Amino acid sequence: VQLQASGGGLVQAGGSLRLSCVASRRAFSNHAVAWFRQAPGKEREIVAARSWSGRNTYFADTVKGRFTISGDGTKNTVYLQMNSLKPEDTAVYYCAARHDVSGRRYYTDRMEYSYWGQGTQVTVSS
């Protein structure tokens, strides 16, 4: 499975961006997915995660209420909608996926993911 992340850019604080992660094939039909981010000098951290059924989601406290994660199976794409962006959201954002048979689980540990996109830079100016 290959993942291609896009949609990053430069935005002012309070603005919005939508990141996209496209899978090379119909991977998201039986894969849990997540978005992570890594700021300079910091470890990669979980931002949001979603079970492949879409019924269960997780958001880090730092983004809860501002970010949403969704999927479009017809386009093999997972989205991260980011609203009310803050300068501390500045980071490289990565999408990740892993096989999951249950359809109900999401995963928050980066070590649990097998497939990664290349990352897309998000910069929020104050």
Q: Are 113 and 3 in contact (CB under 8 A)?
A: no
Q: pLDDT per residue over 1-44, tens digit each?
A: 789 999 999 999 999 999 999 998 766 678 999 999 999 999 99
Torsions phi, psi for 48 (to 5 deg): -155, 150
The helix (H) or strand (E) run that includes residue 4 is strand 3-6
Residue type at 17? L
123 pLDDT higher than 90: yes
pLDDT in tens, 50-103: 998 889 999 999 999 999 999 988 889 999 999 999 999 999 999 999 999 888
Question: What is the maximum span of the chain, computed from C-alpha positions, in angstroms?
Answer: 43
Residue 57, exposed/middle/buried by CB under 10 A (0-12, 13-18, 19+)? middle
The answer to whether residues 69 and 18 touch, using CB atoms and an 8 Å cutoff, is no
Of 107, 83, 115, 109, nearest to 5 (Cα)?
115
Q: How far apart are CA 30 and CA 44, in angstroms?
A: 24
